[in-house]
């Protein structure tokens, strides 16, 4: 089967969305598919990229990035004055408020079918984020791209996206979202809560919609750690609008005699480092994941999405603590409990302290969760 996979973000990007994409591509390859992956050129000035990412077995087609955006928003221009940095920050905030899509919209609008190796595929998969991936697919189809099935693969929905900073009302965003969705043959959501909510929002499209969990790319079996103290790792974004890490931070500070904590990820929070707490910006987590005795996920405060790391961590033999939060926490707990792979607690100091002590005192040996294996997940998608 010949598959065209479209994502308007660099394939080397170091984020959860691209981890999901590459895991799915790995599963497609395991199912003997031939994959062309349309992506954009990475700008190291703007995006955090993983230079050591192993990308083989599929054909990568790189589109030119948005030079103007990359230049204006460069974070590595050491010559910028304080005034210029402030001006750029303000411009970025204004830009995201008055636009529905991100800076890749122009790239998606100008995509040229002649960049493809062929003009006919068995399956087209457009993956968001960013949402412009679906626009790129539409424009290729308008230029004569032939295909048997088009699957839209959604991370965050559009109108219900908790990170959306647009000034446009939800009613208008839903109308744009409906227009994007209507021509797809299948629409996949990676959260059961999002899937149920979207069926209610767009009942006329519900029959096209499916829920399929996020796959992990490959199993990661780590040897026993040799840490002097029990090491807890939180790896991933924790913006104020979406996740509350304060109880975890406070608890680990309180347990400083027995606990070390590493926090790594993009954030607008300001957690001070302590003698037992290290805080890093976004980066390559591989080394730190291997050293950790416990991997932690914190659910979103609002919204229907499930953090992708819940699935990615399931590829390891490490214990995984899910700190419950938000209005959908019980639904998510009910969904995940049957896998017998996760430990749960509430997002408050007392419950976090209780469960950490329990995990230390009564260690359990875990194995990767086969249900999220990329080959099996891709097989489910191919059968839709």
- Give the per-residue pLDDT at 161: 80
Averaged pLDDT score across all residues of the chain: 92
- pLDDT tens digits for 205-261? 999 999 999 999 999 999 999 999 999 999 999 999 999 999 999 999 999 999 999
Q: 214 with 155: CB under 8 angstroms?
A: no
Residue 26 has pLDDT above 70, yes or no: yes
Could you confirm whether domain 2-216+377-382 is CATH 3.40.50.2000?
yes
Q: Kindly report the pTM of this predicted structure.
A: 0.91
In degrees and rounded to multiples of 5, residue 235 shows phi and psi of -125, 115
Count other C-beta atoms under 10 Å from residue 218's C-beta. Answer: 11
What distance lies between CA 353 and its chain's CA centroid?
28
Same fold, 2-216+377-382 and 230-367: yes
- Give the per-residue pLDDT at 167: 83
- Give the per-residue pLDDT at 346: 99
- pLDDT tens digits for 148-202? 999 999 999 999 886 666 788 889 999 999 999 999 999 999 999 999 999 999 9
Burial class (CB in 10 A: 0-12, 13-18, 19+), 4: buried
Superfamily holding 230-367: Glycogen Phosphorylase B; (3.40.50.2000)
Domains of the chain by residue range: 2-216+377-382, 230-367
Angstrom CA distances, 20 to 145, 174, 246, 353, 379, stand at 25, 25, 27, 31, 15
**Closest C-alpha to 252, from 308, 294, 306:** 294
d(CA 255, CA 353) in angstroms, rounded, equals 8
170-174, 322-326, 371-375: least confident range: 170-174
- Give the per-residue pLDDT at 72: 54
d(CA 167, CA 180) in angstroms, rounded, equals 20
- pLDDT tens digits for 344-365? 999 999 999 999 999 999 999 9
Q: What would the two tokens of residue 40 be?
A: 């954009």
Q: 181 with 199: CB under 8 angstroms?
A: no
């Amino acid at each position: 089967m010949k598959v065209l996979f479209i994502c308007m973000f660099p394939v080397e990007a170091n984020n959860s969305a691209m981890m999901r994409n590459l895991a799915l591509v790995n599963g497609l390859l395991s199912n003997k598919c031939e994959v062309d992956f349309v992506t954009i050129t990475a700008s190291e000035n703007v995006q955090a990229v993983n230079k050591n990412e192993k990308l083989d077995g599929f054909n990568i087609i790189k589109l030119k990035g948005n030079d103007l955006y990359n230049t204006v928003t460069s974070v590595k221009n050491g010559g910028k004055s304080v005034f210029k940095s402030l001006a750029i920050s303000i411009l970025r905030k204004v830009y995201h408020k008055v636009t529905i899509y991100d800076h890749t919209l122009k790239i998606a609008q100008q995509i040229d079918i002649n960049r493809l190796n062929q003009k006919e595929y068995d399956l087209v998969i457009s993956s968001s984020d960013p949402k412009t991936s679906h626009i790129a697919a539409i424009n290729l189809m308008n230029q004569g791209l032939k295909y048997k099935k088009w699957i839209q693969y959604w991370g965050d929905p559009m109108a219900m996206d908790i990170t959306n900073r647009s000034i446009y009302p939800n009613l208008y965003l839903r109308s744009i979202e409906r227009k994007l969705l209507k021509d797809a043959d299948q629409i996949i959501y990676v959260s059961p809560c999002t899937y149920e909510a979207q069926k209610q929002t767009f009942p006329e499209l519900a029959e096209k919609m499916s829920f399929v969990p996020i796959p992990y790319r490959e199993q990661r079996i780590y040897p026993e750690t040799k840490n002097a103290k029990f090491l807890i790792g939180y790896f991933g974004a924790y913006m104020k609008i979406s996740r509350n890490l304060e109880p975890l931070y406070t608890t680990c500070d309180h347990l400083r005699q027995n606990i070390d904590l590493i926090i790594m990820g993009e954030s607008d929070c300001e957690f001070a480092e302590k003698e037992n707490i290290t805080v890093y910006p976004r980066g390559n987590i591989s080394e730190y994941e291997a050293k950790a005795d416990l991997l932690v996920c914190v659910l979103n405060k609002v919204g229907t999405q499930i953090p992708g790391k819940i699935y990615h961590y399931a590829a390891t033999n490490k214990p995984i603590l899910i700190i419950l939060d938000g209005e959908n926490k019980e639904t998510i707990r009910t969904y995940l409990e049957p896998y017998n792979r996760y430990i749960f607690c509430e997002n408050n100091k007392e419950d976090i302290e209780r469960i950490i002590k329990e995990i230390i005192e009564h260690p359990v040996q875990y194995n990767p969760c086969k249900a999220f294996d990329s080959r099996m997940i891709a097989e489910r998608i191919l059968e839709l």
